[in-house]
Amino acid sequence: MSKEIKFSLVYRDMWQSSGKYVPRVDQLKKIAPVIIDMGCFSRIETNGGAFEQVNLLYGENPNKAIREWTKPFNEAGIETHMLERALNGIRMFPVPADVRRLMFKVKKAQGVDIARSFCGLNDHRNLELSIKYAKEAGMISQATLSITHSDIHTVEYFMGVVDKAVEYGTDEICLKDMAGVGRPVTLGKLVSEIKKKYPQILVQYHGHSGPGFSVASMLEVAKSGVDYIDVAMEPLSWGMVHPDIITIQAMLKDAGFIVPEINMKAYMKARALNQEFMDDFLGYFINPKNRYMSSLLVQAGLPGGMMGSMMADLKGIHQGLNQTLTTQGKEKLTEDDLLVKLFDEVIDIWPKLGNPPLVTPFSQYVKNIALLNVMQEIQGKDKFAIIDNNAWDMIIGKAGKLPGKLDPKIIEIANNLGKEFYTGVPQDNYPDELDKYRKEMEENGWELGEDDEELFEFAMHERQYRDFKSGLAKKRFNDEIQKLREEAKKPAAEAEHVKADPNKKDISSPYMGRIFYNLNYFIEEQAVELGNQVKKGQRICYIETNYTYDEIVSEYDGEVDEIFFKHGDMVSKGDVIVRLK
C-alpha cells in the first residue's frame, strides 16, 4: 500500500523568513477559515519564535492573538505547532528554567498542540527540559535537529541526538533544514535510520528553498518514510522561504504517495489575502531579495535571511574599506568582490569556531565575526580581535557543547582574555526568575492573566512587554509605518538624510531598523555619549532587524561630535547615526 504523507503550512515562518513582521490578529482571524477550506493541511505552524515579539511591537496583546488564531484550527481538528529554541525559549538569549516550564503550560492552554523544540548547537542537554516540560503540559513534543552539512554532521552524529531525545521521551522528530543546505540523499538516509530504529516516532521535514536542494530533499525523505512535510504558499513561497504546496503535492502524487487534494479556489483566496496583508503594511518589511534563490549559500551554509543581512552590512562598510585600500595604494573592491571575500571568510572560520549549525542566533555570531575579520584584514590587523559577548558565550560553552573542535588560535585568544571554558549544563547558568516578575506585576497592579499568560509574557520578553504596557510600542509602530509610507511616496533622490560634512566622519545605518545603544541583557554596555573617544572597530550601537541585533561598528578613530538618533528610534537605510570629528 502506498504511504500517506501529510502537509503542514508553516504560516509563521513564511512571514518571518521574508520580513520582520507577521499579520495582526485581525488578519490572522480573516485568513484562518480560508486555510481550513484549502483542505490539504493536517498541521499549521501558528506561533513560536518571535511571534509574540511581533504582537508586542504592534502594541497588541500576543496572548489574545494566539488564542484567537489557534481556535479555528482546534475546532477544525487541524493540529497547531509552535517553534521554540530550547535554552532560549522564544527569544534570542537564555531563559530561566521556571520561565521555560511555564511557557509550555501557557501554550497548551492557548490551543497549541505541538512544541517543535530545537537547540541551535544540537546539544541534547538543552532539549531535555523542553521535552520534559512539553509532555508535562500535555503537548506533543517534537525534538528537532538543526540540519547543516559538514564532515562532522553525519547521519551517525544526528542519530546520537535522536537517541537522547527518544530517551528523554520525545514523541516526534523534526529535521529543521533552516538554510536548505542539507544534501537530499543524506537526509533520506537519516530519515531511514530514524524510522528503522524508532518506527513509532513520527518524522517531519522542514526545508528552506534558498540554495535549491529542498524539492529533491522532500522527495528523498518521502521515499525514506517521512510522515509530514512543511510547505508554504504564494506569494510567500520559494526564494529564501519554502517550496509551495502545489509543486510538492504534485511531485509526491506523481511518485505514488497518498497526498490530500488542494481546494484551489480557497488557495487563490488565501493567496489574495496574503497579498492584501503585504499591501496593507507587511510588504514594507520584506526585502525583495528574499524572492530570489542563491547557490552561493551552498558552501557558506548560511540561512537565506543572512544573505540580505550580509548585503546590508557590506553596503555599510564598502566605501570605508575602499578608502583604506586606496590609501594603501591597492585596487578597490567591488561589492561582489566583498561578498565573495565574506563568504570565503565564513567558510574558513566556521570549523575554527567549532562548526555551530548556522541557525539563529549562531548564524549571526559567525557572520558578524567574519565581517569584522574582513575589516581587520583589509586594515592590516589581526583576525578575531573583535568578538562580542554573545559570540564568546557560544565559544566558551555557555550556550551548549559545540559539535566540532575549536581552533587552537581561538583557545589562545580566549585564555589571553581570561575567558573560562564551561562544560556544565547550560541551563544551570540561569537561575529561576518568575517570583521576581510576579512580585513586580503585583506591585504594578498588572493582571497575571489567564493561566498566568501575562506573567509568562513579561518574564519572556521583559523589555518589549514594558513598552507594550506603557503604550510606547504602539506609538513607535504607528510612527514607523507613517515614516515608511511617507518615504515610499518620495523619489529616491528626495530621501531625507543628514547632509554630509567633508570635515567629519559619519557612521551610517546600512539598513532600516530600530537603534539600541545598549541591550538590557548584555553587561558592560554603555550608550554612546558626546565627547566619547571612538576607535576603529568599536561598537557604536545595535540595529534590530528581524529580532536579531546586528552590531554597527566604527570605521574610524575620532571623537563623538553629534548623535542624530535616540535609543529606540527607527532609522532608515543611509541615515547618519553618529558623526565623529
**What tens digit of pLDDT does each residue of 143-189 get?**
999 999 999 999 999 999 999 999 999 999 999 999 999 999 999 99
With a CB cutoff of 8 Å and minimum separation 6, the contacts of 435 are none
Interatomic CA distance for residues 544 and 387, integer angstroms: 18
Residue 387, classified by CB atoms within 10 Å of its CB into exposed (0-12), middle (13-18) or buried (19+), is buried
Residues 521-555 have pLDDT tens digits of 333 455 678 888 888 878 888 887 655 667 788 87
- Helix, strand, coil share of the chain (percent; to 5): 50, 15, 35
- Written as nine digits, the cell of 573 is 537605510
What is the per-residue pLDDT across 345-379, written as a single tens digit (0 to 9) for each? 988 999 999 999 988 788 888 988 988 888 888 87
Helix (H) or strand (E) holding 47: strand 41-48
Cis peptide before 72 (omega within 30 of 0): no
144 near 168, Cβ under 8 Å? Answer: no
Q: Is 180 helix (H, G, I), strand (E, B) or coil?
A: coil
Q: How far, CA to CA in Å, does 466 sit from each of 61, 137, 446, 477?
A: 12, 27, 11, 15
Q: Which fold has domain 493-580?
A: OB fold (Dihydrolipoamide Acetyltransferase, E2P) (2.40.50)
Ramachandran angles phi, psi of 107, nearest 5°: -65, -40
The tens-digit pLDDT sequence of the chain (581 residues) is 589 999 999 999 999 888 888 999 999 999 999 999 999 999 999 999 889 988 998 899 999 999 999 999 999 999 999 999 999 999 988 999 999 999 999 999 999 999 999 999 999 999 999 999 999 999 999 999 999 999 999 999 999 999 999 999 999 999 999 999 999 999 999 999 999 999 999 999 999 999 999 999 999 999 999 999 999 999 999 998 999 999 999 999 999 999 999 999 999 999 999 999 999 999 988 877 778 888 878 877 777 656 556 656 666 677 777 777 888 888 888 877 887 888 889 889 999 999 999 887 888 889 889 888 888 888 788 889 888 888 999 999 999 999 999 999 999 999 999 999 999 999 999 999 999 999 999 999 999 999 999 999 999 999 999 999 999 999 989 988 888 888 777 654 454 566 667 778 888 887 777 888 876 433 345 567 888 888 887 888 888 765 566 778 887 888 999 999 888 788 877 789 999 98
How many CA within 13 A on the CB side of residue 40?
A: 27
SS3 134: helix
| 230 close to 203: Cβ distance less than 8 angstroms | no
Beta strands in 353-508, from DSSP E residues, in sequence order? 505-508
Q: Calculate the dihedral angle through the C-alpha atoms of 410, 415, 420, 426, rounding to the nearest 10 degrees.
A: 0
User: Hey, where are the domains in the chain?
Assistant: 6-290, 295-426, 493-580
Q: Residue 220 is placed in which grid cell?
A: 528523498
Which amino acid is it at 125? R
For the record, the C-alpha cell of 272 comes out as 489574495
Q: How far lies 320's CA from each of 258, 328, 342, 374, 391, in Å?
A: 57, 13, 16, 12, 25
Supply the pLDDT for residue 493: 47
Task: Name every residue whose Cβ is closer than 8 Å to that of residue 122 and which is 6 or more positions away in sequence.
Answer: 145, 146, 157, 158, 161, 357, 403
Q: What single-letter amino acid sits at 436?
A: K
| 321 close to 378: Cβ distance less than 8 angstroms | yes
pLDDT for res 527: 63
What phi and psi values does residue 147 have, to the nearest 5 degrees?
A: -80, 130
For residue 184, whether the previous peptide bond is cis, meaning omega lies within 30 degrees of 0, is no
- Are β-strands 172-177 and 140-146 bridged in parallel, bridged antiparallel, or unpaired? parallel
Three-state DSSP class for residue 406: strand
Q: Of 386, 330, 404, which is closest to residue 148 (Cα–Cα)?
A: 404
**In terms of DSSP bridges, do strands 539-545 and 548-553 run parallel, antiparallel, or are they unpaired?**
antiparallel
How far apart are the C-alpha atoms of 90 and 95, rounded to whole Å?
A: 9
DSSP category for residue 352: H
191 CB-near residues (< 8 Å, 6+ apart): 175, 203, 205, 220, 221, 224, 225, 226
- Give this prediction's pTM: 0.85
| Residue 333 one-letter amino acid | L
Q: Identify the bridge partners of residue 507 per DSSP, sorted by sequence position.
A: 578
Cα–Cα distance, 388 to 154 (Å, whole number): 30
Cell digits of residue 548: 536579531
310-333 CB burial, b ≥16 within 10 A, e <16? bbbbbbbbbebbbebeeeeeeeeb
* Contact status, residue 448 vs residue 391, Cβ threshold 8 Å: no
CATH code of domain 6-290: 3.20.20.70
C-beta of residue 140 within 8 angstroms of C-beta of residue 113? yes
Under DSSP, the state recorded for 398 is S
Question: Which residues, including other chains, have CB under 8 Å from residue 525's CB and lie 6 or more apart?
Answer: 517, 518, 519
What pairs with residue 543 in β-bridges? Answer: 515, 550
What number of other Cβ atoms are within 10 A of residue 379's Cβ? 15
In 379-510, which ranges are continuous DSSP H helix? 389-396, 408-416, 434-444, 453-460, 462-470, 472-489
Name the one residue in this structure whose C-alpha cell is 526564494: 239
Query: How many whole angstroms separate alpha carbon 63 and alpha carbon 456?
Result: 10
Distance CA 557, CA 523 (A): 24
DSSP E strand boundaries for 67-108: 79-84
